[in-house]
Chain A
């Protein structure tokens, strides 16, 4: 901070004329530092990003190796166009559905006198705790003949609406009500104010949420596999599993990556035009005025409650129905314990590797911010956006052909987890590093403590909690990962997620129930944290002000 200040203080001041200090002993060191402010950190960050990019790079290498004739043949398959259209259609339908439910619920909860809005504010975020394949399992196990496009769309909309809901709530609570009051004072009516001021303030958040949903749907494997909708992810998995058409799987994976990239580019463009709307000025923010729903109150309550019932009540009902039978099945407890053990150890390895790779990138971003650090940080998101099935597939080939000693070990799976979840770790490390700003370390140095003592007594105690929380978040996220785990787990080593998937695919719903319950339990921890942080339970929602 202080260094930054000193730097900016200098900007714009007179330049040194002819006596530029190129002959000075520090000159070379300085010139290097200008490009790489922290050489060791930078090198480690590049290495880390390189490791996380292995799946993407190897996929490109293998696809290129297959040769153009075989790629062309695979592309000419009549099914490909249909596959693309179906995937895009599902993405569009689910995104639209999530927009309606997410934005609608957010507005009702933050800006109206909806009864029990504190309760609904939390409930609307909870579907995040239900992995899509658990939701798919719940619907299939309770509703007869629940298959196909519409079924998958319903399940995905219910699971993904929090991705729109949470950022919208955060934007609505963060928006300054004073701007709305100013608009009203300037003679705009309530509706014109809502469209012209409120909606424009929260539009970036809504857009970000919608793109998140689109990416999620494109990469989702669990729900479409269980509900038997042949989208890209399922087609890749099937084509790989059948074993006779590996080039086909690679080409499909590449096509899916290109689709994902297109959406990512769209996100970047949207981000550029939707510049963040900063709140100008300070002062204590008052809670916004709430709109009285009047006669529409019961309708709104019924609507919000129906969505909550479908998203949360139905999975709960499925588990309640099958759980007792599932647990009392002979041998089930030993099977669950084994799966739990595998899940814990694989996820621990994944979390450890992820944080290890995230440390240099996060520290670089916090301590030497600049274009290089920003680019490296962005690069971690590229693999993060890849569907798990693509990462898994690429690493299977990588393991067989390049890193055979790793193949069939948990470490290859850990690499997949690290590639998929690296941004979570980087965010945690960067946030933790902000807890120990350089100013504190400088103050400690000036009091006569050496660099190692300062690191031990100041830096570590201040950053450890944040990094630990990040590791826990990655750990929990790894536990519910399905497609990459299916492809990369050592033979015979089942996890909670794969057991649920296996049992569901043979309609053994009772046997699957304990796994579903455990997974929901695990997934609710990060969901709770997210709901708390995004302000869904913050004072603007919980506080009175009606």
Chain B
């Protein structure tokens, strides 16, 4: 079994314009992908996640650091294994099916004759839900089907790792959810190791075994989706991987003192006079005004059907917070006075 280990990888690009210095794309990336797992690399556009993928695949040379597949160092000081000897199959954004080959020709492209004759092509086509499509040409398929073929093509030669470069971003929302599930299942059934690059936090959280959050050419946190969501490494990660209410506060004996009252903290409070405190919108319980609740007024309501996102102004008239409530007959509307309570522990960092 092969784990992927990326250690301290740096990568710079030269600007095309004359007289401009190098541009930093990767600034010491550390990433581990345990065998058999799907790790999502999540980050805003420009954070270097696509560059990281291209470095792992071998399309770009790294400047510093190393990339190891199992015991094999594929990139490091004085070493650059060419892409075709790495065993890192890529699934590009738009699929990039070979337009002159049939579906079976595409899927079988990376296979030797023996594997083709063993029926590996049909096997992986069935995995992605396209059994019997072998003779079609790529242009006869829908966008979602093309992406399925691209995944099957990458699975077929049983590569050490599969690199998915935002493979669902070009598809319609309803198609995307279904395809995500099916691809996840196909990868699991085949026992494949994979990296999914995405800027969509919902996709990363719902799909991956582990999430690695990237910012400015670095992985700032890697962990299970729950860990990353519940215990973000810093306020930025907290805000990036989900809805966040960020408050300023100060240490108190029970945790942190904020405009929402004394909040319990996850772990020990940081030793700092001023704190940034993160509360998730679903942690804020909205009820009728009560003496032990923080008074607030509803100023906006985004109705989503099953739930609703309330924007609430506190009594100080300057702080607004967001709360997610399940929709019911009792959901307050704009202008209603309400009382707020925070449930569960908050996270805090030195401000």
Contacts and interface: CB of A to CB of B under 8 A. Distances in A.
Interface in A430-464: 435, 437, 439-440, 442-451, 454, 457-458, 461-462
B181 interface: no
8 contacts: A15-B21, A16-B21, A24-B63, A446-B163, A448-B157, A449-B109, A458-B98, A462-B100
Most B CB within 10 A of own CB, among A2, A440, A457:
A2
B84 A446 contact: yes
B24 A14 contact: yes
B186 interface: no
Contacts of A16: 12, 21-24
Interface in B31-90: 45-46, 48, 50-51, 54, 57-61, 63, 78, 82-90
Given A24-B63, A446-B163, A447-B89, A462 B23 contact: no
Contacts of B85: 448
B216 interface: yes
B96 interface: yes
A442 B12 contact: no
A449 B110 contact: yes
Interface string A15-57: 1100011001110001101100000000000000000000000
Interface of A: 2-3, 5-7, 9-16, 20-21, 24-26, 30-31, 33-34, 370, 435, 437, 439-440, 442-451, 454, 457-458, 461-462
A91 B326 CA distance: 77
A21 B25 CA distance: 13
A443 B156 CA distance: 13
A15 B22 contact: yes
Contacts of B54: 2-3, 6
Interface in B94-143: 94, 96, 98-100, 109-110
A193 B163 CA distance: 53
B45 A26 contact: no
B14 interface: yes
Contacts of A370: 16
Given A446-B90, A449-B110, A14 B216 contact: yes
Contacts of B60: 6
A51 to B, nearest CB: 28
B92 interface: yes
Chain B, interface size category, equals 35 or more
B96 A13 contact: no
Query: 7 tightest CB-CB pairs across the interface, nearest first?
Result: A447-B110, A445-B83, A446-B90, A10-B23, A34-B14, A439-B96, A443-B96
A213 B113 CA distance: 58
B53 to A, nearest CB: 9
A442 B24 contact: no
Nearest to B49: A9
Contacts of B86: 446
Most B CB within 10 A of own CB, among A26, A34, A447:
A447
A310 B162 CA distance: 66
A355 B60 CA distance: 32
Contact of A9 (B20, B21, B50, B59): B50
A200 B342 CA distance: 62
A542 to B, nearest CB: 23
Given A21-B12, A21-B22, A449-B110, A9 B87 contact: no
Contact of B84 (A25, A31, A449, A457): A449
Contacts of B228: none
B51 to A, nearest CB: 5
Most B CB within 10 A of own CB, among A12, A370, A440, A462:
A440
B154 interface: yes
Given A13-B24, A447-B153, 15 more contacts: A10-B48, A13-B25, A15-B21, A15-B22, A26-B63, A370-B16, A446-B58, A446-B89, A446-B159, A447-B157, A448-B87, A450-B82, A450-B84, A457-B109, A461-B100
A85 to B, nearest CB: 46
B188 to A, nearest CB: 21
A442 B165 CA distance: 13
Contact of A440 (B48, B87, B96): B96
A11 to B, nearest CB: 7
Contacts of B14: 30-31, 33-34
A451 B83 CA distance: 9
B304 interface: no
B15 interface: yes
Nearest to B99: A462
B48 to A, nearest CB: 8
Contacts of B16: 7, 34, 370
Given A5-B50, A10-B25, A26-B61, A443 B84 contact: no
Contacts of A11: 15, 23
B61 A442 contact: no
A428 to B, nearest CB: 18
Nearest to B95: A443
Given A16-B24, A370-B16, A446-B89, A439 B94 contact: yes
Contacts of A439: 92, 94, 96
A444 B109 contact: yes
Interface string B146-170: 0000100110110100010100000
B13 interface: yes
Contacts of B51: 6, 9-10
Contacts of A20: 21-22
A169 B71 CA distance: 63
A90 B216 CA distance: 64
Given A6-B51, A10-B51, A446 B109 contact: no
Contacts of B12: 16, 21
Contacts of A25: 78
Contacts of A451: 82, 84
Nearest to B165: A2
Contacts of B13: 6-7, 10
A447 B216 contact: no
A470 B182 CA distance: 44
B92 A2 contact: yes
B21 A2 contact: no
A13 B21 CA distance: 11
Contacts of A444: 98, 109
Most A CB within 10 A of own CB, among B12, B25, B82, B83:
B83
B46 A10 contact: yes
Contacts of A34: 14, 16
A13 B84 contact: no
